[in-house]
Amino acid sequence: MMDMIFNPLVGGLLIGLTTTIYLLTLGKVIGISGILSQLLFSKERFLPFLFIAGLIIGGAAYGTLTEQTVDFLEVRSPWLLIASGLLVGYGTRLGGGCTSGHGVCGISRLSPRSIIATLTFMLAAIMTVAVLN
């Protein structure tokens, strides 16, 4: 039960520390959807590549680093994942950010755009889960 508070608390502090280091050294915000689209569509691909590679390596520590409190879901329908990916890919670019760029970095600097975006995608996601369940 403690893990249900301890893990997200420590993980969140680490994410906040990471966005702060990135900001104070490189002068930019961490937005995963933005960094990924730079990797795909911009001419300066080296740094975005390093960041995304690091993110995947760090995330692969899943399950070896910490005891998990919640089991993975069984593998779901490809069509559900494809629909989700298309909406996330298009929506984050149209809206200019995702959970990291708007949700963490944007709210940290009290950006009105990011606060509105975060409330909007949270509400849309909560309603989607309510309909699905």
Partner 1 sequence: MSAIVTLITGILFGLGLAFSEMTNPAVVIGFLDIFGNWNPSLLIVMASAIAVGMLGYIIKNKQIKPLLSNKWQVPSLRHIDSKLIIGSVLFGIGWGLSGYCPGPGLTALINNPAEGFYFISALIIGSGLHYFQARSGLK
Q: Report the site for partner 1 in 56-115 (rule: CB under 8 A).
A: 56-63, 65-66, 68-73, 75-76, 78, 80-96, 98-100, 102-109, 111-113
Q: CB of residue 43 vs partner 1: minimum separation in angstroms? A: 13
Here the tokens at position 127 are 């309603």
Give min distance, CB of 35 to partner 1, in A.
9
Q: In the set 1, 2, 4, 43, which binds partner 1 (CB under 8 A)?
A: 4
Residue 75 backbone dihedrals phi, psi, to 5 degrees: -60, 130
- Which residue of 22, 43, 44, 45 would you call a contact of partner 1, by CB under 8 A? 22
Output the CA angle 14-20-23, nearest 5 degrees. Answer: 145
- What totals of helices (H) and strands (E) does the chain contain, helices first? 6, 0
